[in-house]
Homo-oligomer: A and B are copies of this chain.
Amino acid sequence: MEQKPYVIGLDLGGTNSEFGIVDKNANIIASTRVKTAGHGDINQYVDDCVAALRPIIEQVGGIEKIHAMGIGAPNGNYYSGSIEFAPNLPWKGKIPLAQMFHERLGIPVRLTNDANAAAIGEMQYGAAKGMQNFIMITLGTGVGSGIVVNGQLVYGCDGFAGELGHVIVERDGRQCGCGRKGCLETYCSATGVARTAREIIEKTDKPTLLREIPLDKIESKDVAIAAGKGDEVAKQIFEETGRILGEACANFTAFSSPEAYIFFGGLAKAGDLIMNPIKKAYDEHVLRIFKDKAKFLVSELDGAGAAVLGASALGWEVK
C-alpha cells in the first residue's frame, strides 16, 4: 500500500497553536494558526482547530492525502496521547487531545511534550543531526526539555520524563506555576528573565534603558534589546540568568553526559549575551571529568517551524 504523502504537525504553545502540513522532505506545504490562550473550553478549541485545518487539508488534496498527525504540547504524554496538568495551558487535569483530534479527523494522532518534539526536529533536520546523546532546552513562556540518550527520546516510565524546567535550582526560591518553589523555569524562561529584570532594577540606582519601560511591562525581549546596546544592567540580567542555567546544565551533565546542549526559543536568540554566561557558569561548576566536552549550541531551525516539523515527525512514526 502506498504511504500517504503528508503529515500534520501541531506545535501547541501557551499563546498560539501552530499547524503545518509537511511532506517527507520536511517542507511545510501549508500552515495555519489558532489562539491557545483564552480557549478555555477544550471541545471548542479542538473544533476551532479542525475548522482552521479544513481549508489547508483541502489545499493539499483532502484528508485522504494525510498519513497521520503529530502534536507537540506542554506536559504531553507520548504513551497516553494526553496533556496532563499543564500549568501554562487553559485546561486543567487530563486532556485526551490525541484521541479528540483522531475522532474529528479520522487519522492516527500521536502526541508528545513540545520540547521532545523540538528535539526530534533538531535530530532530523537541525543541529543534532547524527548525535546519539543531547539535551534540547526550550526557553519560552516556560522552560522545557527533550532529552536524547542512545539516539532515543527519554520518555521514562510514564511518558513525562524530561521536565528539566521543573528541576528545583533554589530551595524556597521563586513561586512556580506548578505549585512548588525555585524551579529552573521561574528564573530562565522569558517570564523568569522579566522577573529578574524587575528585581535587579528595583535594587539598583544604576542608569539603564530599561527604566524607560514601566516596571511591570518589561519583557525579556526588551532586556535583549537593551543588552544589545551595551546596557550594563540588561547585561547583568542575562548574566544572572545564564549563571543559573549553566549551573543547572552542569548538574544535568552528571546525569546523561550529553554531547551538546541545544537552546531553542526567544531567549536563545539573544546569542552570546545569554550563551556566554551559560558556558562560563557551566565550566565553573561541571565535574572535572566532563570539562570541555559538551557543546553549547543554538537551534539551527526557525522557531515555530522547528517545533511544527518535530511534531510532524511523530506522525511519520505511525506505521
Contact of A254 among B132, B166, B287, B290 (CB under 8 A): B166
The reply on A16 being an interface residue by CB < 8 A is no
Q: How large is the interface on A (under 10, 10 to 19, 20 to 34, 35 or more residues)?
A: 35 or more
* B256 and A158 contact, CB distance less than 8 A: no
Chain-B contact segment, one of A144-152, A215-223, A306-314: A144-152
> Quick check: is A162 within 8 A (CB to CB) of the other chain?
yes
Instruction: State the CA gap A179–B285 with chains docked (Å).
Output: 10
Give the residue name and chain of the B residue nearest to A134 (CB). Answer: B157
Chain B residues lying within 8 Å of A132, measured Cβ to Cβ, are 157
Q: Which residues of B contact A293 (CB under 8 A)?
A: 157-158
Pick the most buried of A149, A152, A180: most chain B CB atoms within 10 A of its CB.
A149
Residue of B nearest to A255 (CB): B255
In the complex, A289→B82 CA distance in Å? 12
Contact with B along A70-107 (1 / 0, CB 8 A): 00000100000000110000000000000000000000
Q: Which of A75, A162, A171, A257 has the most CB of B within 10 A?
A: A257
By Cβ-Cβ distance, the 6 closest A-B pairs, closest first, are A156-B257, A161-B257, A157-B259, A163-B254, A133-B157, A166-B287
